[in-house]
Structure 1
């Protein structure tokens, strides 16, 4: 699991290392600047081999100090460098001031505000370095920043100017300088993987500057092969998942979920459908068993068999059937995934749902469903982020999980999974994990089935939801363009094999 940090956590790690005497601020700044230059060479080797003209925009803090180091290293490597500082050189922090003095031996420091008033011609540059504000930004950027969208390649130092490092949201209505490449240090920040962060950062490189690991509370989801491996034993040793279906002509979503649960390793999977849908389901399913589940009373009777240890309901149920079945399912106190109609059915009274939920449940809302269950949290998340640290999707999901008393998986490119205890994970389907093909009907139903299958196999809810999110994206990436939801379960065997399952 890769850790992600808030800006405050990163500052604390740096301060602790400096106070312990293991490193100096100047050394960290030099390593950071060298990391940016190395990343530029790796990203654009042709430009590095034939250096052109570079624009460095430096800010009034230590991010600006990194900019002075980068300017010096680029100049030494043969680039023509123009550096513009926002603020006064005399007011720079000590380490940044020291690097400004080192730069002065090679080139001039120009006043950024004056240059912007006159009109800064960016077309003459092949490379632009955004070292203005970094992770410390807490208010909107009032500068009329130059438009670099059709000009040089833009490299952000730590995080693009204008972006909140803790939420990935633009701060206020200020400027946002989008980058082609972002180089951050030690660990990813939350703003790199949430909300607008991935789109604003371009490509992302994490450069090691020699700090000790630790200090973060939230990690990015990575695969755990132990969660996928099956031990020796009979089918009931790997759990029995029950997926509940809607009526005739609306069984497809539940069938997708059931197939995913079986593919991910549940020992048995049963689809519970009303009588009018049995023939339709039987015509489509072979390895998945069928049971007549007409209503909540029938489900309660069926759950007298305690070998049915995980349930999934919501996809394609219809709100009335979903509410009836959800009440019966939750009374049984089994591991339960609630999605789609099982969430929408309680939109008029979310507290009625929360009163019945228990720690073995997983809710999987998309944005609209989240807003119906947690309208105050959704309103706060959608309100303009006037200051940083801004309220984030991570904050909202944690609060939702605490209120619901169970695990919540808030879907999206930046999927956030949080338990009722506050433990949280993020799966970011961006950068090298981008999977745009998942924007297809039925993909969410497959995710529901993956979670149910892993719950049936005995994984804890936070782990089951996190690993299912990873598998979901990995299957989409492996299949690639042209993906439809039916392809996801069929791609799982290759994904699991690659993980040594």
Structure 2
């Protein structure tokens, strides 16, 4: 598995453990890293007139000295620009001594059109704004529109958070080693990386396993083994039942989008729970989706007792009103009480809170958090976008020292829920600290109703017995992949059907792996 994301500190520990285990030593890893970068440059940039390698005083700079040595030996015109001398007797000093090119001071950096730049200044190792000579180098490269190859991470981008404090190089390609870092996937850093190439420099999977990493890139390998496959004797209720709450007569579309997405994701039965005054509107638009009047808590409880749904979607189209939040709390408490006292306890009931439910609960967040912590409470998945997150978790959102990854984790722990912190760099976090960063997002998903579809996919997978964290991760990936493949012109109604070819490929891969 190579979907683990390592913080800069974890990457340093992986280096240390690898060196301690042998036979590789520090300079050996550095040489391999430089060789990987040089190979990419020679493969990609045949027409480059000259290569300018910018070297910092640390390990990132050491990689750069190796790159320069190999390029020069291959007949490529190469200049080294140094921001400072390596520490004596360090691996970087040894790499610099092995390189026949005499470095020039970075303060004099200049380049010509047609050349390329290798950014080996700081990578993920910089913890302060890029300034001085390095900042001027960024300005020069930007003004000349020169292609940049970044070693590990574009200098100026935080490997931990993806934040840019001041300036940063914008790379055409970034070569990193062993595993990616959160900063490669979190915005705005992701936009600076260009294409990301993951190079093997001899850090074994067993070394990574020793780190007990809890952050992952959201790719199918993370959850494919939990993707539900219908049994040969399955009937519709064995495949899971989802209930989706509808808004009033003028706000029914969101629930229908969620319901159709739940059905397309594999749920065997889906019921729209409608207030009485919206029954005719919903009935006019539903065919394979069932419909039931459930405008009061008593009617909802009757539905739960009769049909035992495995998952509910609450929020889309309900309106950002305090009474919606009150109803959500009553529903969670009713589900908790039923699980304690009835045969329905065998059903692992889960609930997706989205859209208006999140805003409506923002005036009493503590009540939600307390309800979610009760024994036998339903598993919760909460799916806020940036604004909704700020309303429900105001203090966490306001802490500018936290990355998006940190904020999602803190919110998941507080709410005892899986948090799907939406955006172009969606972060999924579980209460136990596991987290995943999505990397296949597409701008076509920025359309009304897209989030309602996502909630339905999550609920559909939950209803089929997929664990909450894995269900949320799979749904986010599926949703993004379907949108990306559809492309321009996408509207939310297109997404449920666009899931079909993506699901088919995943099922084929799932079955091939058994």
> What TM-score do you get using the length of structure 1 for normalisation?
0.91
1:259 maps to: 260
Structure 1 residue 131 displacement after superposition: 0.5
Q: Does 1:346 align with 2:354?
A: no
**1:312-358, Cα deviation, whole Å (9 max, x unpaired):** 01011013353243123212133100001111001222112212224
Equivalent position to 1:327, from 306, 325, 329? 329
Q: Does 1:56 align with 2:48?
A: no
CA contact (8 A) 1:127 1:152 kept: yes
SS at match of 1:363: strand
Structure 1 residue 226 displacement after superposition: 4.7
Task: Assess, with a 3 A threshold, how the Cα gap between structure 1 residues 328 and 302 changes in structure 2: closer, same or farther.
Answer: farther
Structure 1 residue 145 displacement after superposition: 2.5
1:355 maps to: 370
Structure 1 residue 12 displacement after superposition: 0.6
CA contact (8 A) 1:299 1:325 kept: no
Q: What does residue range 180-219 of structure 1 map to in structure 2 within 5 Å?
A: 180-213=172-205, 214=208, 215=211, 216-219=213-216
Q: What does residue range 380-399 of structure 1 map to in structure 2 within 5 Å?
A: 380=399, 383=400, 391-399=402-410
| Distance (Å, rounded) in 2 between the aligned partners of 1:209 and 1:192 | 18
CA contact (8 A) 2:48 2:116 kept: no
| Distance (Å, rounded) in 2 between the aligned partners of 1:276 and 1:184 | 57
Provide the aligned C-alpha RMSD in A: 1.7
Task: Assess, with a 3 A threshold, how the Cα gap between structure 1 residues 458 and 209 changes in structure 2: closer, same or farther.
Answer: same
Unaligned runs of 5+ in 1: 386-390
Deviates more, 1:73-82 or 1:323-332: 323-332
Ranges of 4+ aligned residues in structure 1 off by more than 6 Å: none
Q: Does 1:169 align with 2:163?
A: yes
CA contact (8 A) 1:248 1:277 kept: yes
| Distance (Å, rounded) in 1 between the aligned partners of 2:154 and 2:302 | 57
| Distance (Å, rounded) in 2 between the aligned partners of 1:404 and 1:181 | 39
| Distance (Å, rounded) in 1 between the aligned partners of 2:200 and 2:118 | 19
Structure 1 residue 151 displacement after superposition: 2.6
Q: Does 1:337 align with 2:348?
A: no
Task: Assess, with a 3 A threshold, how the Cα gap between structure 1 residues 290 and 33 changes in structure 2: closer, same or farther.
Answer: same
1:388 maps to: none
CA contact (8 A) 2:247 2:319 kept: yes
**1:357-404, Cα deviation, whole Å (9 max, x unpaired):** 246111001110100011111111xx3x6xxxxx31111111101100
Equivalent position to 2:398, from 379, 392, 410? 379
**1:178-226, Cα deviation, whole Å (9 max, x unpaired):** 2111110111011101121210111111101011122322111222165
CA contact (8 A) 1:242 1:310 kept: yes
Structure 1 residue 275 displacement after superposition: 1.5
2:111 maps to: 122
**1:148-202, Cα deviation, whole Å (9 max, x unpaired):** 224321011001111111111113xx32122111110111011101121210111
2:342 maps to: none
| Distance (Å, rounded) in 2 between the aligned partners of 1:229 and 1:455 | 13
**1:394-438, Cα deviation, whole Å (9 max, x unpaired):** 11111101100121111112111111111222212xxxx341111
| Distance (Å, rounded) in 2 between the aligned partners of 1:37 and 1:163 | 22
CA contact (8 A) 2:228 2:465 kept: no
**1:74-102, Cα deviation, whole Å (9 max, x unpaired):** 1122221111101125x356111111112
CA contact (8 A) 1:295 1:324 kept: no
| Distance (Å, rounded) in 1 between the aligned partners of 2:361 and 2:89 | 54
**1:111-142, Cα deviation, whole Å (9 max, x unpaired):** 113x1xxxx43334510011001122112222
CA contact (8 A) 2:249 2:277 kept: yes
CA contact (8 A) 1:236 1:307 kept: no
Q: Does 1:145 align with 2:136?
A: yes
1:448 maps to: 455
Q: Does 1:23 align with 2:14?
A: no
| Distance (Å, rounded) in 2 between the aligned partners of 1:372 and 1:263 | 31
| Distance (Å, rounded) in 2 between the aligned partners of 1:482 and 1:322 | 33
| Distance (Å, rounded) in 2 between the aligned partners of 1:324 and 1:304 | 21
Say how many residue pairs are matched: 475
Q: What does residue range 27-106 of structure 1 map to in structure 2 within 5 Å?
A: 27-42=28-43, 44=44, 47-48=45-46, 50-89=47-86, 91=87, 94-103=90-99, 105=100
Unaligned runs of 5+ in 2: 337-348, 509-514
**1:429-463, Cα deviation, whole Å (9 max, x unpaired):** xxxx3411111111100000001111111111111
| Distance (Å, rounded) in 2 between the aligned partners of 1:423 and 1:469 | 16
Structure 1 residue 295 displacement after superposition: 2.5
SS at match of 1:319: coil
| Distance (Å, rounded) in 2 between the aligned partners of 1:318 and 1:132 | 51
Q: Does 1:159 align with 2:153?
A: yes
| Distance (Å, rounded) in 2 between the aligned partners of 1:202 and 1:51 | 18
SS at match of 1:123: coil
Q: Does 1:487 align with 2:494?
A: yes
| Distance (Å, rounded) in 2 between the aligned partners of 1:209 and 1:24 | 12
